């Protein structure tokens, strides 16, 4: 009896625990150079199969295959006690798409035989937006919630960031990371405790570069982070008095548009900024100063938090919320020689807003408004400076081409529950006889969709129209007289809840109300 019991126990141990499964991914990626680093965009299809091999006969209960998107952040705080850490962390799984496994793919009984390879296919479509349950915390406005439901791009993974097969720095800090991947988990039910155990799991990371359309320009009125306009006093020379006042102003330019994933487009990514100058002489007859050069740079800011962000991030909020942080890095772009900038002479009658002079005389030094800015960039004439003396003045307009460097990987401007990425364009002008003028305005980076993603979206749109037309043909129509008492009749209750996104056991996520990780 003892020998028989030992044989049974040995067989059970062999079927249950001997050897860990070997899990391999085979991706159906046919885009040439993107084979090395799988890269996908909105509405792209991720397909392939999982190959599982075990060294010994292994019993299993179920196999889960899911496409998941996760953001992870941490913030270090300064503490008074050296032995205590001031770090707080948060993880938010904002996307889980589960792949149903056909029962016919499972062996019967559910035992992986040693040395035999079992293949399980998977098929996922990158969604255009997240489900509402991905962002359930409080926000200050609906547009913030809409931003949080946009699919964020991959961020902070040095093994994936880049373009095509090239690995490039995406200027993300260690404190913020967004990852996507296909994850496989093999489960087994224990003989003794009847509890599900994980006996093998693996994740295949992929690069996701969603399509991002241009958003509305950012309202920067009263925002100290930006400086769209600046005045500088120009001197004739050392101890020679003032030459006049130089005013420079710019506005938010059109966004950069980066090519979609899985594309071979290597054209430069450019935009054009418009710079309007005005020179008010200190005395009649003084000529505008000579201009030497203009330099452009891009400030890349990554905001991160361990609690959900209720508003679009701003540096002014960081001092009041210890759960947030920001990492910024400046990238030098182009330099432009502007010595040949053409100045145009004007008389006092050419001023665009003479009522501003009265306001200036009453003690208001800067009377520019949004309408003044619009008029200035339409006519090319800025409102007078604080030192204007109602005489002759000069204006100039400069179109500044700006090109992103190919040595960095730029991702679109986005805002999620825990992580945001924004960009600031800096223009620095060097006039002769005065200190440099530095302007800072926001600029967006948008992203195109891939060719396959656009085609898939078009096909789905056609299918949806055909389905609605077919459904309308069989929808019962009421012939009852209209109800004029303001009440609705014949209302059917429908289940509006989104489909379940949960693929595995509950994971760390962002709490809806408290803002803590659970």
What domains can you pick out in the chain, each with its CATH number? 16-208 (2.60.40.640), 229-447 (no CATH)
Lowest-confidence pick of 46-60, 62-76, 104-118, 227-241: 227-241
pLDDT at 481: 52
Token pair listed for 108: 């019967």
Q: What is the percentage of the chain residues whose pLDDT exceeds 70?
A: 77
Lowest-confidence pick of 271-275, 443-447, 471-475: 471-475
The verdict on pTM exceeding 0.85 is no
> Are 202 and 23 spatial neighbours (Cβ–Cβ below 8 Å)?
yes
pLDDT at 352: 72
pLDDT at 494: 36
CA angle 371, 375, 380 (to 5 degrees): 150
pLDDT one-digit tens code per residue, 200-243: 999 999 999 999 999 988 888 888 899 999 999 998 877 678 89
CA atoms of 152 and 191, how far apart (whole Å): 43
Token pair listed for 443: 């600029």
CA distance to 22, 58, 101, per residue, from 116 (Å)? 11, 11, 19
pLDDT one-digit tens code per residue, 148-171: 999 999 999 998 998 877 889 999
Burial class (CB within 10 angstroms; exposed 0-12, middle 13-18, buried 19+) of 320: exposed
Query: Average pLDDT in the 485-492 region?
Result: 40
Backbone φ and ψ of 371, nearest 5°: -70, -35
Query: Average pLDDT in the 57-83 region?
Result: 86
pLDDT one-digit tens code per residue, 354-409: 444 433 333 334 445 666 677 777 788 898 888 888 889 999 999 999 999 999 99
Query: Average pLDDT in the 32-38 region?
Result: 56
Tell me: pLDDT of 290 over 50: yes
Residues 6 or more apart in contact with residue 82 via CB below 8 angstroms: none
CA atoms of 45 and 40, how far apart (whole Å): 8
User: Is the pLDDT higher at 149 or at 508?
Assistant: 149
Query: Average pLDDT in the 26-42 region?
Result: 70
pLDDT at 236: 82
Backbone φ and ψ of 330, nearest 5°: -95, 135
Tell me: pLDDT of 445 over 70: yes
Confidence of residue 19 (pLDDT cuts 50, 70, 90): low
Confidence of residue 18 (pLDDT cuts 50, 70, 90): low
Segment holding 283, helix H or strand E: none
């Amino acid at each position: 009896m003892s020998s028989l019991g030992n044989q049974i126990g040995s067989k059970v141990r062999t079927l249950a625990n001997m050897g860990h499964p070997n899990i391999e991914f085979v991706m159906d990626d046919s885009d040439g150079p993107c084979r090395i680093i799988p890269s996908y965009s909105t509405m792209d299809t991720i397909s392939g199969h999982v190959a599982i091999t075990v060294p010994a006969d292994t019993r299993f209960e179920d196999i889960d295959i899911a496409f998941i998107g996760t953001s992870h952040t941490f913030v270090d705080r300064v503490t008074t006690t050296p032995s205590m850490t001031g770090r707080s962390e948060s993880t938010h799984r904002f996307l889980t798409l589960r792949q149903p496994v056909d029962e016919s793919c499972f062996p019967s009984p559910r035992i992986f035989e040693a040395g035999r390879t079992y293949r399980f296919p998977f098929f996922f479509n990158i969604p255009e937006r997240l489900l509402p349950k991905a962002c359930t915390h409080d926000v200050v406005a609906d547009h913030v919630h809409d931003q949080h439901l946009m699919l964020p791009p991959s961020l902070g993974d040095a093994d994936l960031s880049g373009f095509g097969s090239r690995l490039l720095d995406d200027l993300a800090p260690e404190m913020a990371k967004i990852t996507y991947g296909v994850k496989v988990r093999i489960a087994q039910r224990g003989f003794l405790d009847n509890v599900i155990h994980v006996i093998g799991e693996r994740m295949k990371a992929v690069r996701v570069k969603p399509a991002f359309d241009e958003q509305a320009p950012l309202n920067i009125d009263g925002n100290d982070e930006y400086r769209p306009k600046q005045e500088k006093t120009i001197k004739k020379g050392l101890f020679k008095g003032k030459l006049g006042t130089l005013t420079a102003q710019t506005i938010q330019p059109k966004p950069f548009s980066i090519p979609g994933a899985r594309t071979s487009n290597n054209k430069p990514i450019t935009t054009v900024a418009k710079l309007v100058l005005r020179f008010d002489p200190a005395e009649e007859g003084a000529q505008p100063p000579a201009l030497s050069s203009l330099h452009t740079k891009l400030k890349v800011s990554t905001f991160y938090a361990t609690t959900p962000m209720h508003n679009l991030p701003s540096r002014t909020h960081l001092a009041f919320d210890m759960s947030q942080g920001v990492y910024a890095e400046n990238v030098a772009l182009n330099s432009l020689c502007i010595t040949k900038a053409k100045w145009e002479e004007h008389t006092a009658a050419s001023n665009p807003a003479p009522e501003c002079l009265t306001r200036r005389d009453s003690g208001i030094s800067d009377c520019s408004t949004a309408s003044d800015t619009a008029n200035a960039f339409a006519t090319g004439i800025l409102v007078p400076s604080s030192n204007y003396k109602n005489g002759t003045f000069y204006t100039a307009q400069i179109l500044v081409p700006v090109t992103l460097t190919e040595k960095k990987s730029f991702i679109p401007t986005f805002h999620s529950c825990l992580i945001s990425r924004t960009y600031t364009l800096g223009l620095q002008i060097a006039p002769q006889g005065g200190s440099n003028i530095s302007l800072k305005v926001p600029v967006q980076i948008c992203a195109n969709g891939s060719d396959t993603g656009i085609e898939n979206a078009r096909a789905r749109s056609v299918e949806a129209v055909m389905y609605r037309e077919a459904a309308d043909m069989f929808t019962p129509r009421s012939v009852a007289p209209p109800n004029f008492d303001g009440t609705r009749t014949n209302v059917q209750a429908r289940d509006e809840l989104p489909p379940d996104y949960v693929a595995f056991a509950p994971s760390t996520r962002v709490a809806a109300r408290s803002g803590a990780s659970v």
